[in-house]
Structure 1
Amino acid sequence: MLKFHRRDFLASTAGLALVGSALAQGTPKKGGVLKVSANANPSSLDPQTGGSGSDHAFLYPIFDTLIDFEPTTLKAIPGLAESWSNPDPRTLLLNIRPGVTFHDGTPLDAAAVKVNLDRARSDPRSNIKGDLVTVEGVEVAGPQQVAIKLRQPDSALLLILSDRAGMMSSPKAMQELGKDYDRKPVGAGPMTFVSWNDNEKVSYVRHDKYWKQGQPWLDGLEMNVIPEINTALRAVVANQNDFVYFLSPQQKPLVDRAKTLVPVSGPTLYCVMTFLNFAKPPLNDLRVRQALNYAVDRESFAKATMAGLSEVATTVLPKAHWAFDPTLESYYKHDPDKAKALLAEAGHKDGLELHLIGYTDQRQQQRQEVLQEQLRKVGIKLRFSTFNIPEGSAAFFAKAEGNGLLSQWTGRPDPSLTFTLLYGKGSYFNSGREEATPEISAALAASRASPDLGERKKAFSLLQRLVLEQALSMPLLFQFELDAHNARVKGFGPNLLGKPRFDGVWLDS
């Protein structure tokens, strides 16, 4: 049987990324439709109302962001805002790129940016209010200049504007369509939306007036929804599709055997974890949450579900991340006896049943079975209700069903946004919507107070420790990105977020 070791995988994946890059060389040419095997149906095509991290692959073609990021470092670079400045610590001044239009022909100017940011902050249906919690107001300072006024200095805001909050929609389309805008998006990205057939396909065509010279190279894009990852890979092997993303490590031998495929890999922030509703009994008891974290055997979980080709997660930041604190690496060592003692102390000596939400695909069901078996050994019975990804996410985050959700956190460009969204009061991804502790709220604010990286690292060290002390979630592992495409696909590269972007891709006939 073929065996993998993590150190070998890291070395080989570095080589795979280089192989993908080398094969991408050549003179880009226009034409062709890229067909992609996508792992989930979108929850929404409105970046402000969606609630699934898997939406990004569908959103990136339609929406450009105010701030962009370098793929391998997540460093902020110009996007729709061609430059920015801080005239004072509580003001971010954005200079919007002139001449950019939305797909409906309306101008992307300062007034349009204000409409988008105000809607994100105040619309009842917005799921990203927490992203902009430090914004006090948005002002039009000139035809192409926006002044964002802050309640406090916020060093995270730039990279926040490279995510959903920075995706700009046509104000005209949002006003005319209302709730229907979820399914009929109008952005200013390289591709114009055509159609969305639920659980089947999302189609796009080239935006001929895109502001980046020469792009997009593609005539169109098809995101074909295939939740079962083995089926998704077979569609590419059979040339029904051109590209498949976020394969499991167990599929790497299949990719290698298919000599027509090019593998591409890289590290990611993608964290498989159990989200916990810490506002709802019995998980409002700290001892129960701590018992869960001591009961799980993360090393065994990784070996069983990822063939060991992953990094065990203690916090929601991987070891390679600049904000990770290595002193916290073994905070929750596997300790079944301690888990049992904590459960008994909390009044559950004879056992405890928890209702968790899960997903229906084969990979997630395997994770559910492993987790059930591990927790059974300390007297915790897990009962799963399973859905597809958008429905399961909505059941837990929007409807507060279940005690927890076995899912994944797909990462955010700035780590403070990750912690705010997961644990901040009122955040969509905080299912109970309650404040964790005043100390955590203060640490969240401190993590964004200084632009100095050293000061921010100290703030994140404290924040991670406080979150671990409160056992607000149960991180399990970080998954490496593994994508595959046929030889026609050129110009693709992975990014640290692990969310594929196809704006620079072209097809070689």
Structure 2
Amino acid sequence: EPPSLDPTTNAAAVIDLLLHHNLYENLVQVTPGGELHGQLAAAWEVSEDGRVYTFHLREGVLFHDGAPCDAEAVRESFLRLLDPATGVPHPEYFQDIVAIETPERLTVRFLLAEPDPAFLPTLALGDAVVTPARGDLALRPIGTGPFRLADWQPGQRLVLARNPDYYLAGVPQLERVEFRFIPDPAAQLAALQAGDVDLVVDLAPELAATLAGTPGVQLISGPMNLVQILAVNTARAPFSDLRVRQAVSYAVDRDEIIEFVSFGFGTPIGSHIPPGTPYYADMTWLYPHDPDRARELLADAGYPDGFSTTLTLPENYPFHVRTGEVIAAQLARVGIQARIRLVDWPTWLERVYAQADYELTVVGHPWKLDPAPMLTGYGPERPDYYFRRGWQSQELDRLLSLGAALADEGARRAIYTVCQYLIAREAVNVFIQDPHRILAAREGIEGLSVYPLYLLDLSRVSAD
């Protein structure tokens, strides 16, 4: 369940899942195949030096409150994101914007301090949706999308209604969408089988295995492009010691996690970029599962009998909780006793993400369509990021800055391969898997797709 309805000021991925592409839209958006296309922008040009992006907006686009979404509205929307008082989770995404111009009513121009090949993909993220600069979007969201907010009862349901003023003919096909928040996976399945719901989003993999071949039910699945990690607080002993982080890496068995938590619906990863992208470099070979080597490293670090720690898990994500439980058992085999502490999502965001008040945690990082924004947490822009406050690498800083500025695709891939190696070698985090998204829908629901971003696009979904 979302803690807020504003994806620009809250890092909860579930907000994007429910509202991105449905209620909120971007200048450009991504297709299920990963290509970018114009959404609010009908066309755009990029200057030869890569510093000026000019967007030509569609005619007749309105916000849900009836206000026009023109060049000035887009400008005000991004000025809101640039304002430190707004409190966006990733200000570094927009730090190169030095000016936003509106030479014509439907033309908006972004001037950048430096060439940024990731700028266009960044504009397709939930962080960059175009909104009015006024109002409380957390409670009363206003966008330009095919659906608008009809009702939100926290703890129960979120209802979207068809936008009658939507600018694309025949979209959406559904008159109403009701999201129900059912935390228990077995109850989700029972609701689907009873006909109480038409679709279960992110079905538990153990239940998907039982549904295969069931008449009247269809399964849609594919890589989530999510990097699931065991995040390590490198600012706290003993995890400030590389040997301890390496021992944890050797202790974790990815294959066992995928077998018992994902039921085979997952792909092992060794870096902070998902394997379904062109930039992924397989680094799983650096730390294969080796409990004996883990014990040796712990002894070298001064912990021959192991030590105790706390594994903080977000209770609203059963998948991460189950992963954490398996990891705790794996760590115990090498002498690390990990006490599990379950917290609600607002507490996780405040204590773990904002304050770095934790030792170990399990969470997922969605793909950002480009390695530059995906890896900012390891670079010079975010020394305060929750998993690297006690670690830094000047070599990595230099390479990340270079990769973010280069336009040559081959050179970027080479640079980001080295970046992934440095991050993996230093065991900044333990990289676990890219889980597969599993949608279970009743027969007659058409138009569902798995996207490379964490979202559920219902704009072209139909139901008989």
TM-score (norm 1): 0.85
In structure 1, C-alpha distance between the alignment counterparts of 2:143 and 2:384, rounded to whole Å: 24
Partner of 2:336: 380
Q: Which moved more, 1:487-496 or 1:249-258?
A: 249-258
Partner of 2:16: 56
Contact map agreement 1:131 1:421 (CA 8 A) in 2? no
CA shift, 1:494, in A, is 1.7
Asked whether 1:94 is paired with 2:94, we answer: no
CA shift, 1:193, in A, is 1.1
- Per-residue CA distance 1:444-499 (angstroms, 9 max, x = gap): 22222223321221121011011112212111111112111112312222223353
Map of 1:271-420 to 2, 5 A cutoff?
A: 271-326=227-282, 328-360=283-315, 362-420=318-376
Partner of 2:104: 142
Instruction: Count residues in correspondence.
Output: 460
- Closer, same or farther: CA 421–53 of 1 in aligned 2, 3 Å: farther
Equivalent of 1:185, from 116, 128, 141?
141
Q: Supply the AA of the counterpart residue of 2:220.
A: V
Asked whether 1:126 is paired with 2:88, we answer: yes
Q: Supply the AA of the counterpart residue of 1:165.
A: D
Gaps of 5+ in 1: 1-40
- Per-residue CA distance 1:138-175 (angstroms, 9 max, x = gap): 333332222222222111111111002321111233xx
Gaps of 5+ in 2: none
- Closer, same or farther: CA 427–184 of 1 in aligned 2, 3 Å: farther
CA shift, 1:191, in A, is 0.8
- Closer, same or farther: CA 441–119 of 1 in aligned 2, 3 Å: farther
Map of 1:407-446 to 2, 5 A cutoff?
A: 407-421=363-377, 425-426=381-382, 430-431=386-387, 436-446=392-402
- Closer, same or farther: CA 111–438 of 1 in aligned 2, 3 Å: farther
Q: Which moved more, 1:102-111 or 1:228-237?
A: 228-237
Partner of 1:244: 200
CA shift, 1:428, in A, is 7.9
Partner of 1:152: 114
CA shift, 1:432, in A, is 5.4
Q: Supply the AA of the counterpart residue of 1:439.
A: E
CA shift, 1:368, in A, is 2.2
CA shift, 1:337, in A, is 2.9
Identity %: 26
TM-score (norm 2): 0.92
Moved over 4 A (4+): 421-424, 431-435
- Closer, same or farther: CA 126–439 of 1 in aligned 2, 3 Å: same
Give the 3-state SS of the residue equivalent to 1:308 in structure 2.
coil
Contact map agreement 2:224 2:454 (CA 8 A) in 1? yes
Q: Supply the AA of the counterpart residue of 1:79.
A: Q
Q: Supply the AA of the counterpart residue of 2:130.
A: M
TM-align CA RMSD:
2.2
Partner of 1:164: 126
In structure 1, C-alpha distance between the alignment counterparts of 2:55 and 2:391, rounded to whole Å: 32
CA shift, 1:213, in A, is 1.5
Partner of 1:71: 32
Contact map agreement 1:159 1:414 (CA 8 A) in 2? yes
CA shift, 1:186, in A, is 0.7
In structure 2, C-alpha distance between the alignment counterparts of 1:119 and 1:69, rounded to whole Å: 23
Equivalent of 2:219, from 263, 267, 276?
263
Partner of 1:81: 41
CA shift, 1:431, in A, is 4.7
Give the 3-state SS of the residue equivalent to 2:240 in structure 1.
coil
